[in-house]
Structure 1
Amino acid sequence: MGATWDGQGVNFAVFSGEAHGIDLCLFSTDGRRELARIPLRERDGDIWHVYVAGLSPGSLYGYRARGPHEPEQGLRFNHNKLLLDPYARKITGRFRWSDALLGYRPGTARTDLGFDSRDSAFAMPKAEVVDVNFPWGNDRRPNHRRSLSVHYETHVKGMTAGHPGVDPRKRGSFLGMASAPVLDHLDKIGVTTVQLMPVQAHLSERFLVEKGLSNFWGYQTIGFFAPDPRFMSGGDIWEFQTMVRRFHSAGIEVILDVVYNHTAEGNQLGPTLSFRGLDNRAYYRLAEDPRYYIDDTGCGNTMNLGHPAVLRMVMDSLRYWVEVMHVDGFRFDLATSLARGPAGFDARGGFISAIKQDPVLRNVKLVAEPWDLGPGGYQLGAWPHPFMELNDRYRDDVRRFWKGDEGVTSSIAGRLMGSADMFDHDGRAATASVNFLASHDGFTLEDIVSYSAKRNWGNGEENRDGHEPNHSDGLGAEGPTLDPDILAARARRKRNMLATLFLSQGTPMMLAGDEIGNSQGGNNNAYAQDNATAWVNWDRPDHDLADFVAWLARMRRDHPVLRQRLFLHSKPRHRDGIPDLSWRRSDGEPPTTEDWHDPNFRCLCVEIRAASATPGYSMSDDVLFAVINGGGDCTVQLPDPPGRRRWRRIMDTTAARQTTVFLVPGRTEVAVAAETVVVFDAAP
């Protein structure tokens, strides 16, 4: 599928089940003149193809499809509209919003039922024939075990646009993303896996462009095989491949945030750019009245993965990014849309089953955003192995606990232990829960402790957009302040939340910039802010906080009991009969049922060992005792240390800089300050 160069010419192949004819259009090197129009006369089933001898990489092309224009029946063919190849490996040229991109003439009484005869080629970027071969050398995927993984969500431009250590010519690009200053920073804070926000070719919605904004996040994909040209400083796809190779050399995996749930063509009033003009009824899920689209995504349309050709395209795209571009996994945006069948979400349906049986994809990391806007769309915990899932319940419960909300202590205990109530079924691992405090769509960590209300006025939607509720608190001020007490309280709360994240069973994920105190000025929906609002601010980084995160990453790496595959359920271990998990109050006694429901029960203590069913004794001697104190000052009774050991304090969030301290032998009580996390290990 797509355009394939064999050294002597190029074969073009494209799917359409309902077109009456398809033309290949070849363009001049600047994309302005159509040089030739070649009918695709060969057809195998619904695959139209033609071989053109003498063409080489660099050739620009597009398609035009002929067929019935019957919008009332869901048929929207219009041969006047130039169409991008769904399998284009590279997209060249600038996209220009124009009414000529619409299949109908706006402003008429018939709206989308009408027919527009204007040629749209002048406003369209072109697909480019490319040679995808790359000198990978001895490139090897890091293949980090999930239990050792620390994910880091970031945006290529947002991470690098303001970074003083990145070559100005490479800021905002793949090459800048993989530059030494960025790699060194990620290595310092213990990141194993970078999760890149959408890098597949995308465009900005017309209403944003007309307001002088753009879709910075990139969740409007138009090319599922092509890296977005805006991230390539020289315009070549080898820049993406070079980035991946450099990340691998640094021992860091690359996961792509992919958007297969919808496309940038929008609803029935949207432009005709590719899929709509090739086979509207195949590519999209249409409503009972086929003039309209089912919109389970909030973006105007929903892709139809129930159609074999569309499912094949998605699978081909995923395999392409793994085999040709060497990426290590995917985060699926609004993943429930991909797995919805005729009866709703189906964990054994076509998309999930196709991935689970695929010899390439079943071995890479797969992260589902387990919801969409459709019926039965919230499916947290319902995905099968090997999928991991973004756990928004974790985010909300941790925020609420440290904000001081009542009735959250029992919930926070569950989140600390990998949210077994949702994930411990069908052989799933505790690492299936991707725990996070903040992500791109919401407040940054700095803003969680600096604002009680969002400030999205710059988005031009009168502050109506953005996630609610945020479970945030400015701790005595809204936004920036010079008050030292407020600043100290905010700093400690950030340390408390980060400590909770790294102490929790599951897979931790950080948002880029949270480790240095990055703020978006209270904007919790900066999707349209391609400026300093959404870029990571490297001008005044909080080095103490970054050092603290590095300490947390080392602590998690050094203590296997913090990153177990098996869930802990307070069951006795076969080796010594000691429970793998023991909850305690500050006085050393187990909490009662009444305690768990007491709003004043805010100091939670826990002793953690290897899970009872852990095979072998690889981590059997690792014991931690943690105090998560969301209340006032208190005295904590330590349990007896195991064997010939004594407790050693390895973390205390009252201070930014951490030191390890051995407690005096025989000491059984320790003072714990208000709103603090303290961790002890049992050391010889």
Structure 2
Amino acid sequence: MTLGATITPEGIRFAVWSSSVRRLWVSLFDDSGAREIDRLELNPEGGGVHALLVRGLGDGTRYGFRADGDYAPERGQWFDPNKLLTDPYAVELDRPYQYHWRLAAKRNEGTDTASLMPKAMARFLPKPVPPQPPLFRPGGLIYELNVRSFTRLHPDVPEAQRGTIAALANPAIIEHLKRLGVSAVELMPVTASIDERHLPPLGLSNAWGYNPVTFMALDPRLAPGGIGELRDTVAALRKAGIGTILDLVLNHTGESDRLGPTLSLRGLDALAYYRHQPDGRLVNDTGTGNTVACDHPAMREMVLDTLRYFAHFAGVDGFRFDLAPVLGRIDGAFDPEASLLQAIAGDPVLADRVLIAEPWDIGPNGYQLGNFRPPYLEWNDRYRDDVRRFWRGDAGAVGALATRLAGSSDVFGREGQPASRTVNFIAAHDGMTLADIVAYERKHNEANGEHNRDGHNDNLSWNNGAEGETDDEAIAKARFDDQRALLATLFASRGTIMLTAGDEFGRTQKGNNNAYAQDNAITWLDWAGRDQALEQYASSLAALRRVLPALADQRFLTGEPADGSEVPDVAWLAETGAPLGEADWNDPGRHRLVMLLANDEGGRLAVMINGDRRQCVFTLPARDGFEWHPALEAEPVDLARPLPGRSVSFMVERRAAKSRNWKGS
């Protein structure tokens, strides 16, 4: 990186880019960050770069930038030398951001903001992590977690470490992840973020971190040890066979709309770094007030430098891109061949990293599911919605369920693609938890201070016990059974799957489906009160998925035998064992299904789904020389007895002589 603060034997070279600034300074601060001790003007070097070598400075120097030029917000110009600005290439901050109204004051109406701003700290960068291929491979289990809420209440994590990145390297945490068969943890944003301006008056704060100011500096609350803390944690997880994926917000910043604070990019060159309407108004394809101009060369290079930084110096396996269509917008229109998307996938440092797109934003034609190109995987909300509809009992949902179980070829099989790029999930950080899906028909976001107006209204959720049921034990069992069914469906789905932390043991947010502002017990995982029976069931599903490669396979199913096989790669059956016909697929009352997959050694795997509340006897087709056996030893299935309602059961077919050696968990 040529921008930012580079420590050299002579001192520190400060460099920043702006195409329209008239003057730029670096402000230097004492070791406390409280007192400005010098202000030095940077020199234009051409191409928009302004730089200065300050001799005698070294590691730990605290600094910020100031910029002067035209101030005309209606034209997208916000220059104000009274605003201390964070270096867009800062790698460490001395304290977290805190919102204050003075940060958004107009020029000549506000005072100097240095006392309100964190100071960037110049740092020697460590040696790059030796190149290693990612541990995660498509088809594995991604475990999405919020660093702070995940360990805030964990009894085995030292109190001083709870809620930090370092806590993820604790042996108790790693053992939990291994029991679940986690292929990679996906860390919700860990870079420094700021609260939205409406939260402090409500006594709330942003608990999720999807409101960054710059892209590289980690939040001091989550990583008091800086990049070294992330690096060490990634290494500890890797040693346990678990990869690390960073959820990055590269689509907007916390500078918000025209009433927002001036913190970094806005004060340096808002017209270049953000997209604007022809009349000068900020484009808002993100719902946050601004949208980063990823088609601008300076911003494109900043995004690439950010990804290289985390790959080089932390050794992460890959990235999940929040509101990813923004990264592919050219002059406002999404283009899957956009230069930034191609540059990421083709970069020598990044080419083998895991790349995951959240394929929607709120801009024009912002829903782009299935339209990214390989190697990008995509969050599949069609999977989420169709699985929920089926288990809610919606009429005619069985066909859509089969499509989702098989890898969503209708979405990802376009242009002759042979394999799916789906990331299947039933619940994520944004929305109801898995336990709340089966307990709340409507959202309950009252604690967010917006009179329950925020968050999605259509959750495809249901309330077991709402139909006059008064037996608390029966309600609890119904909700438990539905959670098991949802988990089993997820683990039985082909392609990559994602589980949000705590859903394996029944975490609840009491119906809050937009808990971004709840840094409290609403989002903190209750380790002491977790449902250990549900957790054990999730672990057994993970064990089953590990030993049955047919479940994680990315290839689309054809209904025909693969080379060297005598059985089709899939057959769809009714509970009677007969193939489903057109009338069955179109039957709005059908809630039962068998997915029969070709398995190893010529055998088959049967996934028997009973979405009806009534129990039912399932029949599986027999073959000479083969026998059906329960796939989950902890929960053996007897085909002579009815399978319970609202359940998913697994049977594996093996050659008779080898059946006694089968172990599924």
Question: Does TM, scored on the shorter chain, surpass 0.5?
Answer: yes
Aligned partner (choices 233, 257, 260) of residue 247 of structure 2: 257
TM-score normalised by the chain length of structure 1: 0.92
What is the CA deviation profile of residues 502-524 of structure 1, one whole-angstrom value per residue up to 9, with x for unaligned ones? 11111110010011111111111
* Residue aligning to 1:108: none
Give the letter for the 1:211 counterpart: L
* Residue aligning to 1:133: 126
* Residue aligning to 1:144: 136
Aligned partner (choices 173, 181, 198) of residue 172 of structure 2: 181
Structure 1 residue 400 displacement after superposition: 1.2
Task: Quickly say closer, same or farther: Cα 1:344–1:94, change in 2 above 3 A.
Answer: closer
Task: Quickly say closer, same or farther: Cα 1:167–1:117, change in 2 above 3 A.
Answer: closer
Matched, 1:70 2:77: no
Matched, 1:300 2:271: no
Alpha-carbon separation, structure 2, partners of 1:339 and 1:391: 18
Task: Quickly say closer, same or farther: Cα 1:96–1:526, change in 2 above 3 A.
Answer: closer
Structure 1 residue 499 displacement after superposition: 0.7
Alpha-carbon separation, structure 2, partners of 1:78 and 1:24: 14
Greater shift, 465-474 or 185-194, is seen at: 465-474
* Match runs of 1:233-272 below 5 Å: 233=224, 235-272=225-262
Alpha-carbon separation, structure 1, partners of 2:418 and 2:223: 38
Give the letter for the 1:58 counterpart: G
Alpha-carbon separation, structure 2, partners of 1:342 and 1:66: 28
* Residue aligning to 2:83: 81
Matched, 1:31 2:13: no
What is the CA deviation profile of residues 86-137 of structure 1, one whole-angstrom value per residue up to 9, with x for unaligned ones? 00000113534334322516xxxxxxxxx4352111111111011221696x
Contact 1:100 1:116 in 2 (8 A): no
Structure 1 residue 145 displacement after superposition: 2.4
Structure 1 residue 477 displacement after superposition: 4.8
Alpha-carbon separation, structure 1, partners of 2:74 and 2:549: 60
Moved over 6 A (4+): none
Alpha-carbon separation, structure 1, partners of 2:575 and 2:386: 21
* Residue aligning to 2:662: none
Aligned partner (choices 486, 492, 495) of residue 481 of structure 2: 492
Structure 1 residue 326 displacement after superposition: 1.1
What is the CA deviation profile of residues 14-39 of structure 1, one whole-angstrom value per residue up to 9, with x for unaligned ones? 11011111111101111111111111
Q: Percent identity over the alignment?
A: 43
Aligned partner (choices 157, 165, 168) of residue 159 of structure 2: 168
* Match runs of 1:342-491 below 5 Å: 342=331, 344-426=333-415, 428=417, 430-477=419-466, 483-491=472-480
What is the CA deviation profile of residues 387-406 of structure 1, one whole-angstrom value per residue up to 9, with x for unaligned ones? 11111111111111111111
SS in 2 for 1:606: strand
Structure 1 unmatched ranges of 5 or more: 106-114, 611-618, 652-656
Task: Quickly say closer, same or farther: Cα 1:56–1:299, change in 2 above 3 A.
Answer: same
Alpha-carbon separation, structure 2, partners of 1:522 and 1:659: 31
Task: Quickly say closer, same or farther: Cα 1:71–1:659, change in 2 above 3 A.
Answer: closer
Alpha-carbon separation, structure 2, partners of 1:595 and 1:135: 58
Matched, 1:214 2:205: yes
Structure 1 residue 579 displacement after superposition: 2.0
* Residue aligning to 1:13: 15
Alpha-carbon separation, structure 2, partners of 1:620 and 1:288: 63
Matched, 1:678 2:649: yes
Alpha-carbon separation, structure 2, partners of 1:572 and 1:410: 22
Greater shift, 450-459 or 569-578, is seen at: 569-578
Matched, 1:637 2:604: no
* Residue aligning to 1:658: 634
Matched, 1:119 2:112: yes
Alpha-carbon separation, structure 2, partners of 1:576 and 1:242: 46
| Number of corresponding residues | 651
Give the letter for the 1:13 counterpart: A
Task: Quickly say closer, same or farther: Cα 1:572–1:621, change in 2 above 3 A.
Answer: closer
SS in 1 for 2:300: helix
Alpha-carbon separation, structure 1, partners of 2:100 and 2:550: 58
Task: Quickly say closer, same or farther: Cα 1:326–1:481, change in 2 above 3 A.
Answer: farther
Aligned partner (choices 161, 182, 185) of residue 191 of structure 1: 182
* Residue aligning to 1:274: 264
Contact 1:141 1:248 in 2 (8 A): no
* Residue aligning to 2:308: 319
Greater shift, 245-254 or 418-427, is seen at: 418-427
Structure 1 residue 447 displacement after superposition: 0.8
RMSD: 2.0
Aligned partner (choices 480, 492, 509) of residue 520 of structure 1: 509
Aligned partner (choices 83, 91, 110) of residue 93 of structure 2: 91
Matched, 1:541 2:533: no
What is the CA deviation profile of residues 389-444 of structure 1, one whole-angstrom value per residue up to 9, with x for unaligned ones? 11111111111111111111100000000011001134646451101111001111
SS in 2 for 1:324: helix
Structure 1 residue 316 displacement after superposition: 0.4
SS in 2 for 1:221: coil
Structure 1 residue 543 displacement after superposition: 1.4
* Residue aligning to 1:202: 193
Task: Quickly say closer, same or farther: Cα 1:445–1:96, change in 2 above 3 A.
Answer: closer
Alpha-carbon separation, structure 2, partners of 1:537 and 1:525: 18
Alpha-carbon separation, structure 1, partners of 2:270 and 2:136: 41
SS in 1 for 2:294: coil
TM-score normalised by the chain length of structure 2: 0.94
Alpha-carbon separation, structure 2, partners of 1:195 and 1:621: 36
Give the letter for the 1:192 counterpart: S
SS in 1 for 2:214: strand
Give the letter for the 2:617 counterpart: T
Task: Quickly say closer, same or farther: Cα 1:249–1:573, change in 2 above 3 A.
Answer: closer
SS in 1 for 2:144: strand
Alpha-carbon separation, structure 1, partners of 2:183 and 2:537: 17
Contact 2:392 2:460 in 1 (8 A): yes
Matched, 1:504 2:493: yes
Give the letter for the 1:252 counterpart: I
SS in 1 for 2:234: helix
Structure 1 residue 255 displacement after superposition: 0.5
Contact 2:104 2:260 in 1 (8 A): yes
* Residue aligning to 1:231: 222
SS in 1 for 2:414: coil
SS in 1 for 2:390: helix
Alpha-carbon separation, structure 2, partners of 1:96 and 1:183: 33
What is the CA deviation profile of residues 135-194 of structure 1, one whole-angstrom value per residue up to 9, with x for unaligned ones? 96x8956523223x1100001111000111110110011111221111111111111100
Alpha-carbon separation, structure 2, partners of 1:356 and 1:134: 24
SS in 1 for 2:213: strand
Structure 2 unmatched ranges of 5 or more: 659-665
What is the CA deviation profile of residues 24-69 of structure 1, one whole-angstrom value per residue up to 9, with x for unaligned ones? 1101111111111111124131111111121111100011111111
